Structure 1
Amino acid sequence: MTDTAMPQQHIVFATAGSLGDLYPFLALGRKLRQRGKRVTVATSANHRQHVLDTGLDYVHMRPDPENTAAFHARYMHPKTGGQFVYQDYLSPAIRRSYDDLADATRDADLLVSQSLMALAAPLVAARTGIPWVSAVFQPMSFFSVYERPNYLPFPLLPWLCGRSPQMHQNIFQYVRKHTEQWVRPVLDLGRELGIAEQGHPMYEGQHSPGCVLAMFSPMLGGPQPDWPASVRQTGTAQLPPAAAPLPEALQRFLERDDLPLAIFTLSSAASNDAGDFYRNGLDASGALGMRALLITSGLAASSRLPEPLPDWAFRVDYAAFEQVFPYAAVVVHAGGIGSAFKAMQAGAPQIIVPHAHDQLDNALRLERLGVARVLPGKRAGARALRQALQRVLADSGMQAAAASVAQKAKAEDGVSQACDVIEKVLRDA
């Protein structure tokens, strides 16, 4: 009898950036593999082990970030970080990125790319004709003129643009023109490949005309009139942590109920440019009679802190947020979309100290939702942090809002919804 079984469909995910830009795709990849698909993740070398640990295939896609304090300080600069990422990091490597991704998708049935960062994906899709889905992880990435542009570095402009879509449109056209120089190598390569004009790689050109996944919670932002028509909002895709118990000493510390607990952590990118964040958190907690859990990682693991720590403080280089956030009276972080959503699921009020990129926009959305206070300026000192902690602990309204939001956040299943959309695209291709 002839074997008529269908060949295994192959999906390639393409992403760059921090772990927050990788984990949603690992979550989708694992679910799609359970549904019988072959999944490959094309990303930088520093993410290789994370991909393999999830059981997915890995392909190297350049560029690779430097693991130095100088690189990360430029990457996370609050005003010039975006220019550095595109002009000095991603765009100069576009030809290598393109070659890597073209090789990775040679036998693929579908390409799924992270918007904004995987700059080679639109070019590969246009050149090869492979079906293509793009994914947006945070609301800001749509750059809607109907929302306040919190990415602008001058405080007055976001406020003015937030009041007038027409003014926002005028300012946006200037920003769009100004940033073309940041991605000039990408535009040049597209012309060399004979690809028809796709638009600005950071704006309209980042989105697939066939399907865009809006992979963030509707509580943080919903459809706007100028979103692409192909958007499908799925909710946040979370990668569950490995099923491993917490270290006994950490578990005992968390279960203490003598003092309220503040958890201090930074995103994987911001942790490499931590400054005095952890020291200020320790000082503020001590002054208020709180316990402090300091979750350090990356270059932040070398942050200078007292040795030994007082008995009301505990430091770890890693802890699964799902396991520790539910113990917190407040979570203090930089505003990464993944950290924010896990705090939402835990029902924990948040204090956000944004560093760069989408973090301020995420923070202000959480503040409007009633679950967070924002400390603008990545170098917020111990005094400002102490005052914010005092206000959050005394704010029963914020605590009630956080508990209400938690019920809705726990009900989201962004992974299944996004995978359903991806499988429909495969069926229709």
Structure 2
Amino acid sequence: MARIAVVSQWLLGHIVPALGIGAELARRGHEVSMLAAAPFRALIEQAGLKHVEIVCGKYPHKFMEAALNEIDALFASMQPDLVLCDSALSAPAYAAEKRGLPWVSYQTAVYIPDEQVPGVQRVNERLRAMYRDELNALRQQHGLPPLADEVRTRGDFAGLSADLHLMLFLEELLPGPVELPRGSRIVGPCTFEPESAIPLARPARSTELPNIIVCTSSADKPGYTEKTRCYLEHALAAFPEGSAQLYMAADAGIVDLAGGFGAHVRWVGSHPNHHLLFPYADVIVTHGGCGTLQKAIRHGVPTIIIPLGSDHIRLAERCAELGIAKVMSLEAINAESLRRAVQQALADQQMKQSIARLSGKVDEQNSNRRAADEIEKRLLR
């Protein structure tokens, strides 16, 4: 059996899918280790993987030299047969390349072709050229040739593998017919679903009041906390006691309301929690992360998407095209408009039918197996 090293961005939306693949590979007898920060140790070990602590790598585009030095030294001692890495990470891919190790990349967000990347094209091109120069300087320091594949100068593809790149999303979420990067395989959403002893993690479905789940992002990008606080507070104001059961998948400390919270509000801070909450949801309010939306599709739950970043906007637009979500801009949200949107989603039978048509296509366990199958084929080359 093979020794496999897994390296992910330090975000639950990236780590949890990788754990699903890693757990399947471990079940097949492979020795799987995940390189991650100390706070993720319990979750990694719960998935049956060995945790290897790293201190660098929280930000994909920052401190790349330190991350590469640390991971390269670990690979020297671990001697993995294959590396599975997040496609946005240059360090593990370059360390594998330097040591002649095969690596497989994966992405959790839906692929967007260059011409549809948000932003001003000439600005994007200038930033990409600067990033390419930085990456090539790093490669030169470690005896690697300059990048020959222009795709790998894009921020989310610095660690792209030309041999095998796993895309962990439903094909229907793609923005129309597109040409995928070389080596790509769409395997669907992968995940790891641990049991939880948190008593509030399993809500009871009320026959009278809807269960509304309000989700937050695990990313700590600039401005996300303020934007998240905004829609959390609007949700609390929109649904007073007696109108709904609210499950806030967030840290209660993110909001500050002097009046406190009614008994109908439950805060769920344990992660991951979507697999515990969504089976009981009637509507989900979310920023529109790919993992969250695919979990909602799996459980046939309508969503209200409030995009936080430009990457969320593209996916939100696609979900609206598919008829499975309502999209609201943060600027247009207040308690009344959010309450109205939720009520419309609850009553929209066509939306529920559209979600039901996609729901059967989301099978994370089969996706885990498909990804593991592809990795094992790569190991046999």
TM > 0.5: yes
Kindly state the Cα deviation for residue 378 of structure 1 after the two structures are TM-superposed: 7.4
1:188 to 106, 115, 137: 137
Q: What amino acid does structure 2 have at the position aligned with 1:313?
A: V
| Cα deviations by residue, 1:31-50 (Å, 9 ceiling, x for unpaired) | 11111101111223443332
CA shift in 2, pair 1:62/1:379, >3 Å: farther
Map 1:261-272 to 2 at 5 A.
261-269=211-219, 272=225
Map 1:250-289 to 2 at 5 A.
251=202, 254-269=204-219, 272-273=225-226, 274-286=228-240, 289=243
Write the distance in 2 (CA, Å) between the matches of 1:228 and 1:303: 41
2:337 to 384, 394, 401: 384
Map 1:323-362 to 2 at 5 A.
323-356=276-309, 358-362=311-315
Runs of 4+ aligned residues of structure 1 deviating over 6 Å after TM superposition are: none
Contact residue 292 and residue 312 of structure 1 kept, 8 A: yes
Kindly state the Cα deviation for residue 197 of structure 1 after the two structures are TM-superposed: 2.1
CA shift in 2, pair 1:10/1:174, >3 Å: same
Write the distance in 2 (CA, Å) between the matches of 1:134 and 1:411: 18
Residue aligning to 1:368: 321
CA shift in 2, pair 1:96/1:373, >3 Å: same
Write the distance in 1 (CA, Å) between the matches of 2:123 and 2:232: 38
Residue aligning to 2:96: 125
Residue aligning to 2:29: 36
1:99 to 69, 74, 97: 69
Kindly state the Cα deviation for residue 407 of structure 1 after the two structures are TM-superposed: 2.2
Residue aligning to 1:9: 2
Secondary structure at the counterpart of residue 360 of structure 2: helix
CA shift in 2, pair 1:384/1:328, >3 Å: same
Kindly state the Cα deviation for residue 290 of structure 1 after the two structures are TM-superposed: 2.8
Contact residue 345 and residue 410 of structure 1 kept, 8 A: yes
Count of aligned pairs: 370
RMSD: 2.8
2:84 is the alignment partner of 1:112: yes
1:227 to 164, 180, 205: 180
Write the distance in 2 (CA, Å) between the matches of 1:254 and 1:327: 7
Kindly state the Cα deviation for residue 306 of structure 1 after the two structures are TM-superposed: 5.9
Kindly state the Cα deviation for residue 338 of structure 1 after the two structures are TM-superposed: 1.3
Residue aligning to 1:163: none
Contact residue 60 and residue 100 of structure 1 kept, 8 A: no
Kindly state the Cα deviation for residue 130 of structure 1 after the two structures are TM-superposed: 0.5
Secondary structure at the counterpart of residue 393 of structure 1: helix
* TM-score after normalising by structure 1: 0.78
Contact residue 332 and residue 352 of structure 1 kept, 8 A: yes
CA shift in 2, pair 1:60/1:282, >3 Å: same
* TM-score after normalising by structure 2: 0.87
Write the distance in 1 (CA, Å) between the matches of 2:365 and 2:22: 18
Kindly state the Cα deviation for residue 95 of structure 1 after the two structures are TM-superposed: 1.4
Write the distance in 2 (CA, Å) between the matches of 1:411 and 1:277: 29
Contact residue 91 and residue 159 of structure 2 kept, 8 A: no
Contact residue 236 and residue 413 of structure 1 kept, 8 A: no
Kindly state the Cα deviation for residue 422 of structure 1 after the two structures are TM-superposed: 0.2
Kindly state the Cα deviation for residue 64 of structure 1 after the two structures are TM-superposed: 5.7
2:291 is the alignment partner of 1:291: no
| Cα deviations by residue, 1:350-386 (Å, 9 ceiling, x for unpaired) | 0011112632222222222211111123783323312
Structure 2 unaligned runs (5+)? none
Residue aligning to 2:268: 316
Secondary structure at the counterpart of residue 358 of structure 1: helix
Identity %: 24
Kindly state the Cα deviation for residue 260 of structure 1 after the two structures are TM-superposed: 1.7
